Chain A
Amino acid sequence: MGRYIIRRIVVAMPSLAIVTVLIAGLLRLQPGDVVMARLSESGYLTQEDVDEMRAELGLDKSFPEQYVDWVTGVFQGDLGVSLWTGRDVLETLATRSRVSIQLAIMSMVVAICTAIPLGIVSAVKQDSWMDYVARLFSITGLSVPDFFLATMLLYVLSVWVGWLPDFGYTPPWEDPWANMQAFVFPALIVGYRLSAITARMTRSAMLEVLRQDYVRTARAKGLVERIVIFKHALRNALIPVITIIGSQLTFLLGGLVIIEVVFSLPGVGTLGFEAIQVRDYPVVQGVVFFTAILFITSNLLVDLSYAIIDPRIRYS
């Protein structure tokens, strides 16, 4: 098991390297850099000032040199400092990720709590009105843009209800009520879209499993339908469902970007969105690194969870 995990991490390294080079290189293809952008805000400066500023920020070096510097830093736990604010990137990520991670977890919970029951009902009562309602619910979730839902939700809250929560970040241990207020609506929207995909997967996995001989055997030996469905069918249907939930993680992170921007939540998504626009390379690289690590970890966790659901699977 330990060796399996290490091997997986080693195998993931090239992808991690490719994605950081790709994004960091991509942003440098752009004409002009952060120095020019900053100067255009601060007014007149001489060429010497510009050169000095570039040297100070390490931008006078070639891209490969900058990249090697950055990778060396990563191994020392140093992701550099923001070219704009001068703040430590790792520290900023740590602060911002609290928001994104809480939002991601809450969305996942919303998604799983609605999708799995919906998927089961949809499959067990196939082609009934309940199935149609559940399927309509999920295909709508796949089709209605999240930024549209968010916009309309904010409208309903502010105009019809006449109350808007404060979307700033309050740690849950300081004021759980304020924390919940800020997160519950964004989590419902991200969770809805996620549940749409998961419900469809649960339904088709359940339909597949319900046709199996062992389900017929379970029914034939007189088991209560509830036990047949939850103990015999659901457990076997869960593997593809968990895979899809895991693979939705990058999608989820992408969804967080838009939702964080719409609700102006201070998360990693808004951080990346702003950093890309002002070409703050260290911050962008940090965000890329963060999401890629999250993706690799979640894939690993998904694979490991198979062994818990299906005891026949062993990792070595």
Chain B
Amino acid sequence: MASAARVEDTTFSDLAARQRHPAVDATIKIVKSPVGAGSGVVILILIAVALSAPYVSPFDPQAISRDKFVAPGEAGHWLGSDGIGRDILTRIMYGARISLYVGFLTVGFGTLAGAVIGLFSGFAGGWIDLVIQRVVDAIQSFPAILLAMAIVSVIGPSTTNGVLAIALIVAVNNSRVIRGAVLSVKENTYIEAARSIGASPLRVMMQHILPNVVAPILILVSAGFGSAILIEGALSFLGLATQPPDASWGLMLSRGRESIETSPWLALFPGLAIAVTVLSFNLLGDVVRDVLDPRLRGSR
């Protein structure tokens, strides 16, 4: 009897799980996994630091002082100071603002534009799809960093222009994935059913196709942050995005290279900041993908 009762129990909890909204269900699974929870906490701390930087940072990010090239831990500079006496910890905290700003904007714009293009291209089909896909091919056949460089060299180097360039590339890449998902969803009988009762193409697209490609879109969103922050870092490193005196991690790292033999911390800490941030977003992205699409477990 005891075993029968247990069977009943699991059935009930299964039913309870099934009655929850799938989004709630997925969130619970993500938070319950140790990797998901751990990386989530790191990201929340990062967001908190970015938002509160003006209040909690020990110094002013641009304040020049006499304490030049102070080693970490000395004279109140926990992570040391740079060649004109600016505090590295403070600048890293402000750098988090730039990285997250870039991450949110590129992922937001890249996903939105990518979804619109992907939905439209996949749903329209025919020659429209053909033309759009050839343009996508063309853009994808060119290294992202060189394309971003070309765009930035036209519109001028700045954080926002860097965002625009990265978002464009992200949008193009995402549109291809979303189009693929749309193509497979489009073949389902329920789409035919919706059409046969006279639903307009726009309605079919928004009400019947979009909800079924949400999982791949969410996976793209969660994977997008890491790569957006990495590309911004690379562009700033090459002097093509954030401009001095603003504190972007890539820019700090690039400047730190000049005095690396005597003060390696100038390059080390900004580099670690990028690595930890991107690692957290990538780990969280993996968990999100495992939860939303178990078939893709472990792949990229």
Contacts and interface: CB of A to CB of B under 8 A. Distances in A.
Interface stretch (A195-203, A223-231, A306-314): A195-203
A287 B141 CA distance: 12
Interface residues of A, number: 54
Nearest to A135: B298
Contacts of B150: 23, 26-27, 276, 284
Interface stretch (B5-13, B182-190, B226-234): B226-234
A29 B274 contact: no
B143 A143 contact: no
Interface string A60-94: 00000000000000000000000000000000000
Given A159-B264, A200-B300, A143 B139 contact: no
Contacts of A155: 260-261, 264, 267
Contacts of A296: 141
A15 B138 contact: yes
Interface residues of B, number: 47
Given A204-B298, A276-B153, A151 B260 contact: yes
A205 B295 CA distance: 11
A167 to B, nearest CB: 15
B160 interface: no
A292 B141 contact: yes
Interface string B256-286: 1100110010011001001100110011001
A147 B234 contact: yes
Given A19-B139, A148-B253, A200-B298, A254 B146 contact: yes
Contacts of A207: 297-298
A140 interface: yes
Contacts of B146: 253-254, 257, 269, 272-273, 276, 287-288, 291
Contacts of B138: 14-16, 18-19, 22, 292
B154 interface: yes
A148 B144 contact: no
B141 A250 contact: yes
A145 interface: yes
B300 A291 contact: no
B137 A15 contact: yes
A287 B135 CA distance: 19
B214 interface: no
Nearest first, the 5 A-B pairs at minimum CB distance are: A254-B143, A204-B299, A148-B271, A18-B138, A143-B279
11 contacts: A30-B153, A144-B275, A148-B253, A152-B268, A155-B267, A203-B298, A204-B298, A205-B299, A250-B144, A253-B143, A292-B142
Given A23-B147, A155-B260, 19 more contacts: A22-B139, A27-B154, A139-B282, A139-B286, A144-B274, A144-B279, A145-B230, A145-B233, A145-B237, A207-B297, A250-B141, A253-B143, A253-B146, A258-B237, A272-B149, A273-B149, A288-B142, A292-B138, A296-B141
Interface of A: 14-16, 18-19, 22-23, 26-27, 29-30, 135, 139-140, 142-145, 147-148, 151-152, 154-155, 158-159, 197, 200-201, 203-205, 207, 250-251, 253-255, 257-258, 261, 269, 272-273, 276-277, 279, 284, 287-288, 291-292, 295-296
